[in-house]
Amino acid sequence: MKESFDILIVGVGGQGNILFSKILGEAFLNEGYDVKVSEVHGMAQRGGSVVTFVRAGEKVYSPLVDKAQADYIIAFEKLEALRWLEYLKKDGIVIYSDYEIPPMSVISGKSRYPDVDSILKDIGVRHYKIEISSLLMELKNPRVQNTIMLGFFSKLTGIEKQVWERAIENNIRAKLLDINLRAFEMGRDIELKEEELKV
């Protein structure tokens, strides 16, 4: 069992950071960790860049993950994986969806959507990319990307699968449970192949 986890969950307001962090927090709690989760509500949720912090350890004080402290950055949107990179600690890991939501300045042509893959490679960050579109197509539901990514991430934690499934069951409405459990399974089936680092 790992000693501690400092995790950033990043994305665009409305992508479901909060639910994801609830499930994560509950799984850590049931595994015996002290846990703190810090969420963002209100104005920032309206399509802006959002971050949720999840920390687990023997004793957790600050609910925030500090800069240069995160073991993992989990990004539900590709560009957001870059925005919070200063929070990653040395040898920390970025797990990101290849889903793109262009910010307003990109839509209006004032700025360019960056080439996330090559930037991460150039800086030499350890990263896994989840090619999400085809998976979502297979499930015919665009709202379960988080659960797919949870499935993938869960394998890195050393926590039993049943603990995760129970946390999902406790936090997701009955109507949507089945599809989410399938999405979770699909995430776990993604091969844990770290992108080749070209430093």
The site for another protein (CB under 8 A) is made up of 12-14, 21-22, 25-26, 29, 34-49, 60-64, 66-69, 79-80, 82-83, 85-86, 88-90, 92, 100-114, 119, 123-125, 142
* Residue whose CB is less far from another protein, 179 or 188: 179
Are the C-beta atoms of residues 96 and 130 closer than 8 Å to each other? yes
Residue with tokens 């539900």: 76
Hey, how many other C-beta atoms are within 10 angstroms of the C-beta on 126?
15
Nearer to another protein, 53 or 152 (CB): 53
Alpha-carbon span 120 to 125, nearest angstrom: 6
**Shortest gap between Cβ of 22 and another protein (angstroms)?**
8
Q: Decide: 37 and 63 in contact? Cβ < 8 Å.
A: yes
CA 178 – CA 71 distance, rounded (Å): 30
Distance CA 171, CA 19 (A): 7
124 vs 131, which CB is nearer to another protein? Answer: 124
Smallest separation (angstroms) from another protein to the CB of 148: 14
Torsion of CA 94, 95, 98, 102, to 10 degrees: -50
- The residue (of 85 and 186) whose beta carbon lies closer to another protein is 85
41 or 198: CB nearest another protein: 41
Q: How far is the CB of 194 from another protein (least distance, A)?
A: 16
Closest distance of CB 192 from another protein, Å: 22
How far is the C-alpha of 198 from the C-alpha of 92, rounded, in Å? 16
On the CB side of 181, how many CA atoms lie within 13 Å of its CA?
Answer: 15
Q: Taking the complex as a whole, how short is the minimal distance between the CB of residue 140 and another protein, in angstroms?
A: 12
Q: Write down the least CB distance from residue 152 to another protein, Å.
A: 20
